[in-house]
Amino acid sequence: MKPFTRKGGVATLVGTLGAVALPAMVRAAEDAPPSLDELQTLVPGLQVTLDNMFVLVATVLVVFMHAGFVLVEAGLTRAKNAGNIVMKNLINFSIGAVAFFAVGFAIAFGGDFDGIGAYIGGGGWFVGDGAFAYGNLTPFTFFIFQAAFAATAATIVSGAMAERTKFGGYVAYALIMTAVIYPIVVRWQWGGGWLYQLSTPFHDFAGSTIVHLCGGVAAFAAARALGPRLGRYGADGKPRAIPGHSIPFAIVGCFILLVGWFGFNAGSQLGADPVIGRIATTTLVAAGAGAVMAAMVTRLQSGKTDVAMTGNGLLAGLVGITAGCYAVSTIGALIIGLVSGVIVVFAVNFFDKIKVDDPVGAISVHGVCGAFGTIAVGLFSNEESEGFVAKGLFYGGGTDQLVSQIIGVVSVAAFVFVVSTVMFAVIKATVGLRVSEQEEREGLDVHEHGSPGYGSDRAMA
Amino acid sequence: MKLITAIIKPFKLDEVKDALKAANVTGITVTEARGFGRQGGHVETYRGAEYKVDLIPKVRLEMVVDDAVVDGVVDVIVKSAGTGKIGDGKVWISDVSRVVRIRTAEEGRDAI
């Protein structure tokens, strides 16, 4: 996202459309194909309309990803907490929409980019006067796309906090995340801040770091602050699996996320440009590769192909390619997906071992693979665009981009980890973070929300 | 009158039910059950971690039959539910002092 050169985009697109939409007008008038200038005078506003339309459609796809998160997180947790986990996703999205509308968007994109403005913005509060707009997009089209992203970054964390978090504590977190923490991270890059101002700008096209690493690191801080679920570790200290209650839910959720991700990545072009086809291709290839590798690794580890982990592999590939979906070669995308699918399995095992209980694998999928995918841009970038992205190490570009990628990953991870750790400590000391032991054993549905997610109408419920 | 209770492997339910019908048993009650016996539990894997399933899913069948046919019915159950492998289940027989059909208030053998 953020400033880039639209390499031949308009020319190609209008050229293509000309053949379809304007045959009579143009072709009848003269035999020679019309020049770009001629076409643009014939279709004033067409590109503006297309850009706004495409980004709004992409926004709807990103919003739909929340349905995917609902199903993945509900499916991978127990039935007695089903109402609570979907409520967390619902309230998270809703708070995110309002908080990002009121202040988040202004912090991320408002005001000057110099001095303090390189770190935190301000201006265009409530998407009012001075609201930032990008390219051909109206401020509203640009805002709503960004708002859908903000809610995504926040909802990543709910999975890692599942089955043991006080609802009030979660609400406090969701508000701070979407109003302040995520917008500051966005400011650094897409908002034109200091990461974007590096001599070789940090490159994160759709948010492996800005969205996913940010959410993944906050998830890590949350899971650490909460401690593992009761029964997650045996008396011998060994991890004991707590299987989710609906694998079909989880996998339908993965498919919905895949569908939404095409809006997430291709929409980050912020315009209707033919390059969206290639962005969608890198996205698809990485997703498939991630799932295949995760399936194979689990098979080699335990002799069985683990369904939930294969779903995580699909998401790992998607997270991995999100930074480089525009810049990396298609072969690079394949490699990023394959590696992400391997990394995610070992990351899940690792966090199990160090007793950070993440019921859905959010830290591994979004945090670890987000960091990997971002750094991989410094290796596999095959694009060269002044002030946007340089070629990667494997494509003759040297280490400039790689260094910028590492700076971006480390600074975002450190910032989010420190701020989130403080935030969760404060929430713990005030509204409280973890439910009582009795509530955790009986399920959060009835205790936090009054009725079970399933079955209040059964005869003997 | 006797109550026959059988715990069997869930996938054997259809076979046992058909065999009991063929043996003229007039009704059975089926409940999903869990438990352990000499089979113990088993270990499953989920996302790379193991967990022990101590209580294995079984199906519990109950039927009240006339004294004269008890042994025949038990034979039918043992034959149709058996696989020869551990975990096939058990059958036991208990005395029943009184049986009433709710709709007609018939009692005893007529109520079966």
CATH number for the domain spanning B39: value is 3.30.70.120
Q: Please tell me which of the candidates A240, A348, A352 has its beta carbon nearest to residue B51.
A: A240
Report chain A's mean pLDDT, rounded to a whole number.
92
Rounded Cα distance, A118 and A193, in Å: 4
- How many other CB atoms are there within 10 angstroms of residue A457's CB atom? 6
Length of chain A: 461
**Contact assignment for A308 to B44 by CB distance below 8 Å:** no
Element (H, E) at A125: none
Q: What is the percentage of chain A residues whose pLDDT exceeds 70?
A: 91
Predicted confidence at residue A6, as pLDDT, reads: 34
- Report whether B90 contacts B36 (CB < 8 A): no
Q: Which of B45, B51, B52 sits opposite A304 (nearest CB)?
A: B45
CB-based contact A348 B45, cutoff 8 Å: no
Q: DSSP code of A35?
A: P
Smallest Cα distance from A302 to chain B, Å: 7
* C-beta atoms surrounding A204 within 10 Å: 33
In this prediction, residue A395 carries a pLDDT of 96
pLDDT band at A42 (very low <50, low <70, confident <90, very high): low
**Phi, psi (deg, nearest 5) at residue A334:** -60, -45
- Is the CA virtual torsion A191, A197, A200, A202 positive or negative? negative
Task: Say how many domains are in chain B.
Answer: 1
C-beta of residue A58 within 8 angstroms of C-beta of residue A142 = no
* Adjacent-strand bridge partners of A233: A239
Q: Which residues of chain B have pLDDT under 50?
A: none
Helix A9-21 to helix A46-75 angle (10° resolution) is 100
**In this complex, do B48 and A306 lie within 8 Å of one another by their Cβ atoms?**
yes
**pLDDT on residue A457:** 63
Contacts of residues B24-30 at CB distance under 8 Å and 24 or more positions apart, as own/partner, are B24/B69, B25/B63, B25/B65, B25/B73, B25/B76, B26/B112, B27/B63, B27/B112, B28/B61, B28/B62, B28/B63, B29/B61, B29/B62, B29/B63, B30/B59, B30/B60, B30/B61
CA–CA min distance B89, chain A (Å): 26
Range A92-108 average pLDDT: 97
Q: Which of A242, A344, A364 to mutate to test the interface with B (most CBs of B within 10 A)?
A: A242
Could you tell me the end-to-end alpha-carbon distance of chain B, in angstroms, rounded to an integer? 9
Assign A103 a pLDDT band (cuts: 50, 70, 90). very high
Quick check: A352 contacting B, CB < 8 Å? yes
Distance, CA of A309 to CA of A341 (rounded, Å): 9
Can you tell me the mean pLDDT for A200-220?
98
The domain spans of chain A are 46-449
In angstroms, the CA A223 to CA A162 distance is: 9
Which domain range does residue B29 map to? 2-111
Q: Which of A44-48, A259-263, A430-434, B28-32 is predicted with the least confidence, judged by mean pLDDT?
A: A44-48
- Domain A46-449 CATH assignment equals 1.10.3430.10: yes
